[in-house]
Every structure is written in structure tokens, then in C-alpha cells.
């Protein structure tokens, strides 16, 4: 049953939601509206003139095979980042949950990477895998594997995924850990008495009880992979080699701020807005059904 509160007049409720509406209007609706408006023009970088092109910017983008490929790259990247950041986090949370001694230290250490900004994380990983001075690439070289993410697209993708997911593992760990602590001990004990082993208890009791958290993290991580990994990609690969790590957001930046093509950049923002909107609606409509609160 949903809880509802009824107000008598309309002034107080309006007043209460006003700050939120104001913030949304100033920081979301106005700029988003500007982007939609700009996407219909080809302006020059200095804002001296504008050419109305209708849907020309969209036509230009969708006829570009590299832009279409960027959708696939973004999809692959988001799925990988989400998986690589959630599965180890869940595993670590389960292990930490069963710890009796030193749980506090262990937890603190696991949370640390979250404090590292994406761009810094990118540089750290880049140092380790630098083809010339990187520690990891040196070891790989000794093992007979020639690491070169500068020329190899799959290696580049692997590197940006791991660098982006690394800090997120801490974040996800925190939520999974809290959720695990709130699983009632009595249910688990009852199942244990009935003879269910650990993994059986995990699959049939713990995981379903974690589903609201898992769903929340899924949404948050996909949004993270879409928008906040810019720093990692910019520092490690700049979208290369051969556009194999150019995700949609990176292309918005590259076209708008490197190429000074603001029309195309605005059109891409609009497309991105639609994609993320659709994705969120999809997630809430289809995946949330499987969530038990």
C-alpha cells in the first residue's frame, strides 16, 4: 500500500516543491532546451552566425558509420563496467560480511579507491600499463605477452573498463555490504536448520532480498558508465585506437570542444538524452518488476 498525505490548500505543497522545480528548471530544463534548439543549427564557434539546417545535424550524424559504431562501443563499455564493478563488489561484500575479526579495517581498505577521482584513477592505471615504463606491461613482456593498448583496440577497451570499474567496486561494496547486514538473521538460521548449504541459502534467500539494492546499483552504474567515465577515457586513450573506446559522451566532447562543431555536439547531446531516458524507462518498467521490496 502506498502512503499518501493530503494537503488542504495548494499553496503549501507548491511552496514545498518549488525549490526542486527551480533547480530542475535552471540546471536541467533550460540547458536541455538550449541543446535541442542548437541541434537545429550549424553555428560558427564564435557565435557570430548560425545556419538553420533543420534535422541536418541528425542526418549527418546517423549517416556516419563511426557514430553508429559508437553506440555499440558505449553499450559494450557500459555492460562491462557494470559487471566488472558489481560482481567483485558483491563477492567482497559477502566475504566481508562473514568476517569476525578485523572487519572494520578490511571495510575501510575496500572503500578507499572510491575517494580517487576518475581522471586520477585513469592516470594511475595508465602508469601501470604504459607500454614503455609500466610495471604490469613489463611483467607481461617477461611472460612473453606484448602489451600495447596504443595500437590494440581490445586491450585499450579492457584497460578503460578496469580503470573505470576499479573505484566503483568500493561504492558498490558499500551498498551490498549494508544490504547484507539488513538480511534478517532469523531467516538464514531457519534455512540453515532445514539443511540448506551456504550457496543454496545465497541463491534462494540472500540474493532475492538484495534485489532492491542490486537494481538501484544497476541503474546508478549504467548512468556512471555513460557519463562519468569521461576522465578515464580522456586520460588513457582519448577514444583511440581507431575510435575503439570512443563512447557517446566522449564524442560529444571531441566534436564540440576539439572540433568546435557545436551543432553536431548539440545534436549528439539530444540523442544521448533520448537514449538515457529510454534506458531508464526500460529499467524501471521491465527490470523493476523482478525486484521485491
Partner 1 sequence: MKKISIGALAVSSTLLSPIAAYAETEVHFWHAFTGRLGELVAAQVEDFNASQDNYTVVQSHKGNYSETLNAGIAAFRAGEQPQILMVFEVGTATMMAAKGATRPVYEVMAASGAEFDQDAYIGAVKGYYTSTDGDMLSLPFNASTPVLWVNRDAFKAAGVDPDTDLSTWQNVDKTLTALKAGGSDCPLVTAWQSWIHLENFSAYHDVPFASKDNGFSGLDTELQVNGDAQIAHLTAMGQWAKDGKFIYTGRRNEGGANFRAGECALFTESSAGYAGIKSEAKFAFDVRPLPYWEGVGNAPQNTIIGGASLWVMEGHEEEEYKGAGEFLSYLSSSDVQAKWHQDTGYLPITAEASAATKASGFYEENVGTEVAVIQMTAKAPTANSNGLRLGSFDQIRGIIDEELEAIWSGDKSAKDAMDSVVKRGNPLLRRFEQANR
Q: Point out which residues bind partner 1 (CB under 8 A).
A: 27, 31, 34-35, 42-48, 51, 53, 60, 64, 66, 131-132, 150-152, 240-243, 254-255, 257-261, 263-264
Cell 557565435 belongs to residue:
47
Q: Judged by CB, which is closer to partner 1: 198, or 257?
A: 257
Q: Judged by CB, which is closer to partner 1: 166, or 250?
A: 250
Q: Judged by CB, which is closer to partner 1: 51, or 204?
A: 51
Distance between CA 225 and CA 78 in Å, rounded?
5
How far, in Å, are 63, 94, 193 from residue 56 at the CA level? 11, 52, 67
- Which of 143, 149, 158 shows the shortest CA–CA distance to 129? 149
CB of 243 to partner 1, least distance (A): 6
- Which of 49, 75, 97 shows the shortest CA–CA distance to 206? 97
State how far Cα 233 lies from the chain centre.
13
- Helix 118-129 / helix 135-142 crossing angle, nearest 10 deg: 30
CB of 275 to partner 1, least distance (A): 17
Q: Judged by CB, which is closer to partner 1: 229, or 237?
A: 237
DSSP code for 288: G
CB of 203 to partner 1, least distance (A): 44
CB of 32 to partner 1, least distance (A): 8
Q: Judged by CB, which is closer to partner 1: 43, or 113?
A: 43
Q: Judged by CB, which is closer to partner 1: 48, or 193?
A: 48
CB of 183 to partner 1, least distance (A): 41
Q: Which three cell numbers stand for residue 118?
A: 576518475
CB of 168 to partner 1, least distance (A): 24
Distance between CA 242 and CA 80 in Å, rounded?
20
Amino acid at each position: 500500500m502506498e502512503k499518501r498525505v493530503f494537503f488542504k490548500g495548494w499553496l503549501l505543497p507548491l511552496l514545498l516543491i518549488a525549490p526542486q522545480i527551480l533547480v530542475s528548471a535552471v540546471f536541467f530544463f533550460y540547458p536541455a532546451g538550449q541543446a535541442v534548439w542548437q541541434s537545429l543549427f550549424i553555428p560558427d564557434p564564435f557565435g557570430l552566425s548560425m545556419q538553420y539546417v533543420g534535422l541536418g545535424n541528425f542526418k549527418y550524424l546517423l549517416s556516419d558509420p563511426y557514430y553508429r559504431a559508437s553506440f555499440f562501443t558505449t553499450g559494450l563499455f557500459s555492460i562491462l563496467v557494470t559487471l566488472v564493478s558489481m560482481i567483485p563488489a558483491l563477492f567482497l561484500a559477502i566475504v566481508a560480511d562473514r568476517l569476525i575479526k578485523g572487519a572494520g579495517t578490511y571495510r575501510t581498505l575496500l572503500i578507499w579507491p572510491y575517494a580517487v577521482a576518475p581522471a586520477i584513477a585513469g592516470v594511475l592505471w595508465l602508469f601501470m600499463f604504459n607500454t614503455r615504463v609500466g610495471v604490469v606491461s613489463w611483467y607481461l613482456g617477461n611472460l612473453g605477452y606484448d602489451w600495447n593498448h596504443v595500437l590494440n583496440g581490445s586491450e585499450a577497451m579492457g584497460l578503460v573498463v578496469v580503470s573505470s570499474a576499479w573505484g566503483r567496486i568500493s561504492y558498490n561494496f558499500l551498498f551490498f555490504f549494508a544490504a547484507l547486514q539488513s538480511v534478517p538473521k532469523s531467516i538464514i538460521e531457519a534455512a540453515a536448520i532445514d539443511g540448506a548449504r551456504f550457496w543454496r541459502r545465497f541463491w534462494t534467500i540472500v540474493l532475492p532480498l538484495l534485489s532492491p539494492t542490486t537494481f538501484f546499483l544497476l541503474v546508478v552504474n549504467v548512468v556512471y558508465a555513460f557519463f562519468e567515465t569521461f576522465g578515464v577515457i580522456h586520460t588513457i586513450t582519448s577514444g583511440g585506437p581507431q575510435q575503439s573506446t570512443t563512447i557517446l559522451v566522449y564524442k560529444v566532447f571531441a566534436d564540440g570542444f576539439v572540433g568546435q562543431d557545436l551543432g553536431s555536439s548539440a545534436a549528439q547531446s539530444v540523442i544521448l538524452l533520448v537514449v538515457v531516458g529510454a534506458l531508464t524507462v526500460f529499467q524501471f518498467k521491465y527490470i523493476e518488476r523482478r525486484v521485491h521490496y
